Each structure stands twice: as C-alpha cells, then as structure tokens.
C-alpha cells in the first residue's frame, strides 16, 4: 500500500518533556519521528491527558539540535497492546509553533538531502 502522508517522516530517537503542566505522570515522551509539520511520540503508561490536547514540549536529542520548544496539538492516539512495557500509546502532534524555527528547518533540510 502506498504512503498517503503529505510530508515524509524521518526516524528520530529524542526526548520530549511536557512543560505545560497540564498533564500528570513523569511527562517524558519519546520522539519516534518528525516531519515538516509534526512529530510522532510514544507515551508512557503514567502519562494522563487532562482536558486540553494542546501541548508545550521541550525536545532534546534530535539530530543536530540541542533543544527545541514545540507548541502543538495532539491529533491522534493509538493504544498499544499490552506487550509493550514502557509505553501505553503512540500519538501524533501537529506543530503550531517551533522555537527556534531555524534549527528545525536545518534538521529537515539535512534529512531531505537539500543543500544548506
């Protein structure tokens, strides 16, 4: 089956910490992939969304970037089977604002193979 996504996804292995204070648990998410418009995340068992699906994430560990802040909206959730001990869900976050945007663009350009 052909991929139906608008933007290509790139694998990642970063950490995203929720700094909005609206969620409970240890608030450490794993960034599994990224694209021009969003990120894929793995969500631990003790993470609980309270009310709003708007997130403020501080991300570290992405290729070539020391730290980023992403303001976004959780667009989808998938509950994982009980076989995964570390994570309960996977989700997708659509970015509304990224700071600093220049570092995000450089990371996308490098992964797309575009000259910088």
Whole-structure pTM value: 0.81
17 token code pair? 């910490």
Report which of 63, 55, 82, 71 is spatially closest to residue 14, judged by C-alpha positions: 63
Across the chain, the runs of DSSP E, i.e. the strands, are 10-18, 23-24, 28-34, 38-44, 48-49, 54-60, 68-79, 87-99
pLDDT band at 8 (very low <50, low <70, confident <90, very high): confident
Q: Could you tell me the domains of the chain?
A: 10-104 (2.40.10.220)
Whole-number pLDDT of residue 40: 94
Per-residue pLDDT of 26-43, as tens digits, reads 668 899 999 889 999 998
**Residues 50-64: what's their mean pLDDT?**
82
């Amino acid at each position: 089956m052909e991929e139906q996504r608008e933007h290509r996804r790139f694998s990642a292995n970063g950490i995203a910490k929720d700094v909005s204070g609206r969620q409970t648990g240890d608030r450490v998410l794993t960034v599994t992939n990224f694209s021009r418009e969003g990120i894929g995340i793995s969500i631990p068992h003790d993470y609980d969304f309270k009310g709003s699906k708007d997130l403020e994430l501080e991300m570290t560990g992405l290729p070539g970037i020391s730290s980023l802040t992403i303001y976004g909206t959780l667009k989808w959730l998938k509950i994982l089977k009980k076989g995964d001990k570390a994570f309960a869900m996977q989700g997708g976050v659509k970015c509304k604002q990224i700071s600093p945007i220049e570092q995000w663009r450089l990371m996308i350009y490098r992964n797309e193979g575009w000259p910088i």
